[in-house]
Structure 1
Amino acid sequence: MDLNGAMIFVKVVRLGSFTKAALELGLPNSTVSDRVSDLERALGVTLLVRTTRKLHLTDAGEIFFKKAELAVASLMSAGEEASLFQKHPTGTLRITAPADFDYTSICEAVTEYTEKFPDVKVELLLTDRLVDMIGEGFDIALRAGPVGDSTLTAKRLGAGGLVLVASAEYLQRSPPITQPRDLASHRCLVISPEQYASSFTSWNLVSTDGDKAKIVPQPHISSNSVGAIRHLVSVGQGIALIPPTLVHREISRGRMIRVLPEWSTEPWPSYLVYTALRKSSPKVREMIPLLEPRIRNVIR
């Protein structure tokens, strides 16, 4: 069996597209398709059902993918161990973070890193799904809330709750807000629960003094996109409860204002996550001191 074909197959399934896999691997589409077809012929089974819009794994494909993905991860891990003997970072550094995280701070760290180590490629995946770091071969992850996986090393970076924000323009033309119940008379911009926890449908606030308030906003506008809600806040459409990592720059520059600044949701911890082996890798070891202070600055 062609091991390169198996690795290409795993990449196609992970990305859900022959075209995306070809771009990432730097190969022609036809080559990627042919290698997967050759693999299927060698195994004597169909692994993928190709349609015009989507790829579907067959039952045999599901079984093979799970085994092959672990094998590819083991091979990558072996490469990581070998790289420990090198003094300088090499290869590809893979980072994942939540889709609603402040990617600007991550990109600043990546920019400084690639300027210092131009031979290292960096892949950044922003996604709402929980990535299998070991199975999918990621080096570093930024995560909010409990990590859970005992095989991973988690370094706490800080904790923060969601905050209420609005534009100065909106607040100037709207009734004053001195307590949570005043929000009932305001335009509320709500992140819909399709993509996030149902707690977003009610705003459970806690004050710095420990007082609690539960607000059930009547959405003026709702969206499953945090980015869309952030933009709507910036153009004066209302008040939103939003992750502070997404608006800390706007607040510091006066483009947005904290509403009821003594109130927020219960804080959730954020972590920098990696395996003990990957932390020892030069490419990971050099990124952590660039990434960590920037994330801490965003979270606090």
Structure 2
Amino acid sequence: MERSVDLNGAKIFIRVVQLESFTRAAAELGLPNSTVSDRISDLEKALGVRLLVRTTRKLRLTDAGSIFFKKAELAVAALTSAGEEASSFQRHPSGTLRITAPVDFDYTSICEAVIEYANKFPDVKVEMLLTDRLVDLIGEGFDIAIRASPLKDAGFTTKRLGEAGLILVASPRYLKQSSAISQPGELAIHQCLVVSPEQDANSLATWNLVSADGEIAKITPRARISSNSVGAIKHLALIGEGIALMPPTLVHGDISRKRLIRVLPEWSTAPWPSYLVYASQRNLSPKVKEMIPLLEPRIRNIIW
């Protein structure tokens, strides 16, 4: 039959034995003598054995008390050490920080935040997973996620970072050698680079564009090259192979460096939001708390 041991009672018992005095142990622990005596009596009752024999001048451990003391002292010391180590996680960033984001996200902004973070907190290992799979944040041990939809879970904080639709881009080289584009209908005569789903690669793509004034245009682009890889289509656009419809979060840096130019800047697809998801403030660890202010402004900066 298993017997439940009161941890506090065991800690009081250990200190009494170490100090060889109920009175000194009570004074050190800030407890009345009667409380110390009662807790040890309760411990003996729970264990079903006598642990101490007390005389007017000294204490003596029984055989059972001696065995219990030796093992309990080691166990309590280990538990105390474990508690102190666990508490340090709430004081200083440590351990492993895991971040996940969609494949078509501009990972350079995440990398900038990670580099600054790693220089500041070298004891933390940072892992990044870029995937379009819906990651189980709890089951797979992720601390921070960038998502296109909020996470409806009371244990998480969800911050809306902004919203953006896909935008048309092309390289300066392509635009220099091609006819000018002033309206969506003219895309039909241009070489277009199309992202196609792997399971339906042969279907005709449709670009549903919306102007800043709310005008709608449905375009079936002439797909010179198509691929299920957003990264591959971006690369083809960079080397001048045509016009691509891209997430602004993926091409923000290239536009800033003028490696890509926005085509029909008044047009995009309908916007969708982006969210930053992490543990609720109540459960927020230092390693996550220190990353949020580095990551959040960088992400907001690339969402138009």
TM-score (norm 1): 0.69
Partner of 1:263: 267
Structure showing greater radius of gyration is 2
Are the aligned partners of 2:100 and 2:128 in contact in 1 as well (CA < 8 Å)? yes
Say yes or no: does 1:202 pair with 2:186. no
Cα deviation for residue 157 of structure 1 reads 0.7
1:176 counterpart residue number: 180
Which residue is equivalent to 2:276? 272
Q: Residue in 2 aligned with 1:191?
A: 195
Moved more, 137-146 or 157-166: 137-146
Matched, 1:297 2:262: no
User: Structure 1, residues 114-157: CA drift from partner, whole Å, max 9, x if none?
Assistant: 11110011111111100000111110001123545565321011
Q: Which amino acid letter does the alignment assign opposite residue 244 of structure 1?
A: P
Describe the SS at the equivalent of 1:128: coil
Identity %: 71
Question: Who is 2:112 aligned against?
Answer: 108
Contact 1:161–1:268 (8 Å) recurs in 2: yes
In structure 1, the partner of 2:125 is 121
Q: Using a 3 Å threshold, how does the CA distance of structure 1 residues 214 and 156 change in structure 2: closer, same or farther? A: same
What amino acid is the match of 1:158? Answer: G
Distance 1:196 1:205, change over 3 A: farther
Take 1:140 and 1:266, find their aligned partners in 2: how far apart are those partners? 26
Do the aligned residues in 1 keep the contact of 2:89 with 2:286 (CA within 8 Å)? no
Deviation of 1:250 after TM superposition, in Å, equals 1.3
Counterpart for residue 214 of structure 1? 218
Aligned-pair distance for 1:84?
A: 7.2
CA distance in 1 between counterparts of 2:203 and 2:274 reads 19
Unaligned runs of 5+ in 1: 1-78
Q: Aligned to 1:106, what secondary structure does the other structure show?
A: helix
2:185 and 2:154 mapped to 1: Cα distance?
42
CA distance in 2, matches of 1:105, 1:168: 24
Aligned: 1:95 with 2:99: yes
Aligned to 1:130: 134
Change (3 A) 1:277 1:168: same
In structure 2, give the amino acid aligned to 1:261: P
RMSD in angstroms over aligned alpha carbons? Answer: 2.6
Distance 1:289 1:240 in 2: 33
| Aligned-residue offset at 1:278 | 7.7
Q: Specify the alignment match of 1:6 in structure 2.
A: none
Aligned runs of 1:1-300 on 2, under 5 Å?
A: 82-83=86-87, 86-149=90-153, 151-194=155-198, 201-276=205-280, 280-300=284-304
Provide TM-score, normalisation by structure 2: 0.68
Unaligned runs of 5+ in 2: 1-82
Q: What is the distance in 1 between the residues matched to 2:288 and 2:154? A: 20
Name the stretch that deviates more: 170-179 or 202-211: 170-179
Closer/same/farther in 2, CA of residues 104 and 235 from structure 1, 3 Å limit:
same
